[in-house]
Structure 1
Amino acid sequence: MKIKTAYIGEIEIDPLEILIFEHGIPGFEDETSFVLLPLEEKSIYQILQSTKTENLAFILTTPYAVISNYNFDLDEATVKALEINSESEVAVFSIVSLKDTLANSTVNLKAPIVLNTTNKKAKQVILDNEEFAIRHKLSLESIKG
């Protein structure tokens, strides 16, 4: 299947790699189908690209590269919605807000993207935890990734 992307032009994707956000992403509720694309080889950054809207793409990173003690419990409704059977099925990403420089860029630790890697169901989860910020500055270590 071919899709047009915001950053790398038209590409061929495997339909089995499509991530399904049943209720979309907050602010983009009609966008339910995305694919993860590498930003560059061996990078901790990836692109979450809409399969239907060319100019809708988010830069993602692993929150664990930004803050080593990042940890939260998923609520039961999310576990059921994503049909998670084991912690080993779960991947967690954070959306990066790019600024004029990478050092000024931030990452949203308050609302991670949770993915069931087995069935490709995903959801952006809003955490009820004051410890995590919506605009957490990227650390020097995470920028190097």
Structure 2
Amino acid sequence: MIIETDYLGEIEIDSTNIITFEHGIPGFEEEKEFIILTIEEQSAFQMLQSVQTKALAFVITDPGFIIENYIFDLDESTVHALEIKNEKEVSVYSIVSLKETIADSTINLKAPIVINTTNNKAKQVILDNEQYHIRHRIGTESKRGE
């Protein structure tokens, strides 16, 4: 399957890798299908690209690259909606807002994207946890250099 993207041009994707957000992503409820694309080899960052809308893409990363011990519990309704049977089939990403420098960029730790890697169902969840913030500055915390 070929899709068009604003950032990477026309690319071929494997339709079995399409991630489905049953209710879309907050603010983009009409967008249900996305694909994770590699931006650069060896990069901690990837792109969550809409399959339908070429201009809609989010830079994402594993929050574990930024902070240690990023841990939260999923509510039962999310576990049920994504049909999660085992925590090993779960991947977690956070959306990154890139600024002029990585140190000034922010990561959304308050609303991670949770993906069941077995069935490619996904949901952006809002955590009820005061420890995590929507605009957590990456700053010098990045573990990428380790």
TM-score band, normalised by the shorter chain? over 0.9
Aligned residue number for residue 89 of structure 2: 89
Aligned residue number for residue 58 of structure 2: 58
SS at match of 1:123: strand
Aligned residue number for residue 98 of structure 1: 98
- Give CA-to-partner distance per residue, 1:68-103, whole Å, 9 cap, x none: 011000000000000000000000000001112221
One-letter identity of the residue aligned with 1:23: H
Identity %: 61
* Structure 1 moving runs of 4+ over 4 Å: 142-145
How much does 1:121 deviate? Answer: 0.3
Distance 1:108 1:90 in 2: 18
Give the alignment's TM-score, normalised by structure 1: 0.96
Distance 2:87 2:6 in 1: 32
Asked if structure 2 preserves the Cα contact closer than 8 Å seen for 1:89 and 1:116, the reply is yes
Aligned residue number for residue 114 of structure 1: 114
Asked if structure 1 preserves the Cα contact closer than 8 Å seen for 2:105 and 2:139, the reply is no
SS at match of 1:103: coil
Aligned residue number for residue 74 of structure 1: 74
Which stretches in structure 1 are left out of the alignment for 5+ residues? none
Cα distance, 1:75–1:99 mapped onto 2, change above 3 Å = same
How much does 1:39 deviate? Answer: 1.1
One-letter identity of the residue aligned with 2:98: L
Aligned residue number for residue 35 of structure 2: 35
How many residue pairs are counted as aligned between the two chains? 145
Alignment of 1:2-41 (within 5 A): 2-41=2-41
How much does 1:53 deviate? Answer: 0.2
User: Is 1:123 the equivalent of 2:123?
Assistant: yes
- Give CA-to-partner distance per residue, 1:100-140, whole Å, 9 cap, x none: 22211000000000000000000000000000010001144
Asked if structure 1 preserves the Cα contact closer than 8 Å seen for 2:109 and 2:134, the reply is yes
One-letter identity of the residue aligned with 2:27: G
Distance 1:62 1:85 in 2: 21
Asked if structure 1 preserves the Cα contact closer than 8 Å seen for 2:61 and 2:96, the reply is yes
Distance 1:125 1:30 in 2: 17
